[in-house]
């Protein structure tokens, strides 16, 4: 068992989304704090936003970081950006990585009221990237279900006041443990296996109802907890022989609580304690980001254990995890300090180095599993054969209607006509027996069946010789029979024989079994029939004329001699 392929280098992807102005902003009349230059450049505190002296709120004048500060990110979304646009440039791109076995993480960071929860969850009319991601994930799983068997597990938890709670099965606080092999494990956290995208979205909606939210002066629907929604995707080749591959990946979608200042939120009592715990966990996250970004000193201590949040995100930020940070900022001048800090930390996160490795495990089946693998291969072969048989059965009636003529004859002439067409039927019977032997062989060696096709492997010499002998025998039998009937009877019988010969010719041609000698013999047969019928071949083969040979009797012709030649 081995991991593959080698690791890939990269950095954390950082995007910034500017929240639209809302009526609650007290500085509506002032110029916006941010200006989006293009899809990658953002200007903080542009020159035109200065205004006359004394027009700025006290929150901005207390600490001035400089005007016209330019920040460059992987993508910048202005106030008019839609949920679909954000989704297309963030989680939709990493879904390919998840389905290829890479761990991925997307988290929204920013001050309270900056639009993090709206970006991640959205509303009923404008669903967020969590909902859009789940729908797209199941669409891609459905597209590859013929090649891969996929299993999806989900969990939803929150960190509230430094305690972990299960949002899908609410219960008491859960303990967190470090496992040498599995990493960070939350004991008692429920895992659910949805069967469809709709069921998964319902789980997400139920979990959001259990999330802790309380209004503050800064945000009427403030999330007081960090929410972590994790999706585990396991894929395995449906039929991969004795050496099989399995991919296991984890995707984390994280909606962080917003940093806040007590002087702005006017929090008291329980709300004040919540805000303090939120700020403490976010500060621990910032310290982890700074330590990860300091790539020069590899011995730098990463303070994951400073909070429950950073312990949970130990394998979701940096390292072997493709990470996307969505920085939500407000254009309101009142959020001057919070917006500046968010942009500063987001710019710092761009420096975090990633070493990505696909979680693809290739393993050889034990000998005891050989029988199970063979049975699985046989089942797939049987399923494919059933589909092919159904297709052939649907196409056969139309082919028979076009190629098989309907004719009648008396009991006396049936044995003769049977001898005339016995060889073509015998050829088809031999081919059917050969197909049965081939099916037996394929059932014993299903792997060879997938790699080879019967027409290419069939030796051309044996069937060619058999069919060549059949054609020669047909010539003798046809010539003998033509001597026994009158002109009209001869034309009708020749038409029936010629129709059977043409059908055999078509079957051999479709099976790519014709040889130049066989083609010449068929042409010779056609020329002979043309000479014997005196040019009335088209009239003799007319489907509107039934075969009428009732007047012939054994006494009218030397039957034994001809039969001896035919045999």
Structure-token pair, residue 210: 């259990």
List of E strands, 207-352: 226-237, 243-255, 322-329
111 in a known ligand binding site: yes
The span from the CA of 57 to the CA of 340, in Å, is 15
552 in a known ligand binding site: no
Among 44, 56, 57, 131, residue whose Cα is nearest residue 87: 131
Structure-token pair, residue 7: 């690791």
Can you give the C-alpha Rg of the chain in angstroms? 40
List residues bridging with 35 in a β-sheet.
Answer: 43
Residue reference for tokens 């043409």: 502
List residues bridging with 226 in a β-sheet.
Answer: 159
Structure-token pair, residue 443: 């059932």
117 in a known ligand binding site: yes
- Report the greatest alpha carbon distance in the chain: 132
- Cβ proximity of 104 and 321 under 8 Å: yes
Q: Which residues contact 97 (CB under 8 A, 6 or more apart)?
A: 104, 249, 322, 356
Per DSSP, helices labelled H in 294-369 are 308-312, 336-349
Q: Which residues contact 218 (CB under 8 A, 6 or more apart)?
A: 112, 113, 260, 264, 265
Q: Are strands 360-364 and 41-44 parallel, antiparallel or unpaired?
A: unpaired
408 in a known ligand binding site: no
Q: Which residues contact 238 (CB under 8 A, 6 or more apart)?
A: 146, 147, 148, 149, 380
CB < 8 Å & 24+ apart, contacts of 218-223: 218/112, 218/113, 218/260, 218/264, 218/265, 219/112, 219/113, 219/258, 221/117, 222/112, 222/113, 222/257, 222/258, 222/260, 223/116, 223/117, 223/255, 223/257, 223/258
Whole-number Cα distances in Å, 86 to 118, 119, 216, 272, 501: 12, 8, 27, 33, 69
DSSP, collapsed to helix, strand or coil, labels residue 164 as: strand
- Cβ proximity of 149 and 296 under 8 Å: no
The span from the CA of 415 to the CA of 165, in Å, is 88
Structure-token pair, residue 374: 């063979």
495 in a known ligand binding site: no
Query: Inter-axis angle of helices 422-444 and 370-403, to 10 degrees?
Result: 160
List residues bridging with 2 in a β-sheet.
Answer: 362
The span from the CA of 230 to the CA of 237, in Å, is 23
555 in a known ligand binding site: no
112 in a known ligand binding site: yes
Q: Which residues are annotated as a binding site for ATP?
A: 110-117
Which residues define the annotated binding site? Answer: 110-117
């Amino acid at each position: 068992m081995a991991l593959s392929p080698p690791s890939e280098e990269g950095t954390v992807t950082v995007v910034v989304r500017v929240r639209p102005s809302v009526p609650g902003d007290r500085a509506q009349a002032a110029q916006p704090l941010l200006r989006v230059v293009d899809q990658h450049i953002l200007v903080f505190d542009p020159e035109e936003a200065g205004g006359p002296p004394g027009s700025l709120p006290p929150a901005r004048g207390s600490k001035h970081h400089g005007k016209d500060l330019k920040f460059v990110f992987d993508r910048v979304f202005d106030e008019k950006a839609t949920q679909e646009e954000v989704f297309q440039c963030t989680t939709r791109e990493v879904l390919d990585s998840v389905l290829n076995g890479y761990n991925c993480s997307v988290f929204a960071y920013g001050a309270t009221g900056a639009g993090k929860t709206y970006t991640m969850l959205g509303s009923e009319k404008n669903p967020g990237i969590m909902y859009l991601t789940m729908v797209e994930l199941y669409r891609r799983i459905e597209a590859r279900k013929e090649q891969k068997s996929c299993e999806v597990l989900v969990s939803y938890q929150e960190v509230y006041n430094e305690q972990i709670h299960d949002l899908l099965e609410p219960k008491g606080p859960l303990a967190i443990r470090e496992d040498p092999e599995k990493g960070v494990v939350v004991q008692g956290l429920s895992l659910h296996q949805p069967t469809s995208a709709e069921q998964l979205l319902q789980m997400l909606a139920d979990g959001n109802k259990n999330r802790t939210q309380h209004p503050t002066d800064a945000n009427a629907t403030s999330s007081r907890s960090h929410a972590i929604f994790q999706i585990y995707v396991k894929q395995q080749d449906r039929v991969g022989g004795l050496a099989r591959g399995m991919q296991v990946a984890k995707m984390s979608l994280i909606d962080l609580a917003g940093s806040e200042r007590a002087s702005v939120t006017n929090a008291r009592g329980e709300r004040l304690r919540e805000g303090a715990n939120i700020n403490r966990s976010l500060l621990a996250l910032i310290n982890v980001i700074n330590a990860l970004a300091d790539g020069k000193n590899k011995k730098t201590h990463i303070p994951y254990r400073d909070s429950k949040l950073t312990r949970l995100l130990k394998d979701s930020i940096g390292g072997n995890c493709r990470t996307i940070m969505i920085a939500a900022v407000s254009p309101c001048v009142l959020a001057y300090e919070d917006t500046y800090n968010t942009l500063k930390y987001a710019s710092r996160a761009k420096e975090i180095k990633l070493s990505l490795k696909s979680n693809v495990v290739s393993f050889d089946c034990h000998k005891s599993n050989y029988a199970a693998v063979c049975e699985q291969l046989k089942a797939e072969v049987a399923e494919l054969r059933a589909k092919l048989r159904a297709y052939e059965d649907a196409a056969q009636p139309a082919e028979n209607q076009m190629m098989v003529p309907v004719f009648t004859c008396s009991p006396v002439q049936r044995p003769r006509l049977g001898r005339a067409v016995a060889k073509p039927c015998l050829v088809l019977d031999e081919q059917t027996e050969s197909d049965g032997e081939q099916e037996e062989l394929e059932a014993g060696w299903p792997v060879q069946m997938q790699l080879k096709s019967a027409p290419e492997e069939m030796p051309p010499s044996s069937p060619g010789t058999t069919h060549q002998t059949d054609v020669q025998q047909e010539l003798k039998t046809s010539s003998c029979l033509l001597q026994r009937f009158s002109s009209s009877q001869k034309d009708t019988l020749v038409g029936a024989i010629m129709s059977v010969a043409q059908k055999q010719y078509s079957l051999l041609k479709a099976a790519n079994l014709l040889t130049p000698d066989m083609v010449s013999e068929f042409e010779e047969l056609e020329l002979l029939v043309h000479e014997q019928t005196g040019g009335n071949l088209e009239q003799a083969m007319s489907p509107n004329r039934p075969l009428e040979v009732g007047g012939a009797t054994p006494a009218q012709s030397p039957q034994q001699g001809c039969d001896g030649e035919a045999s």
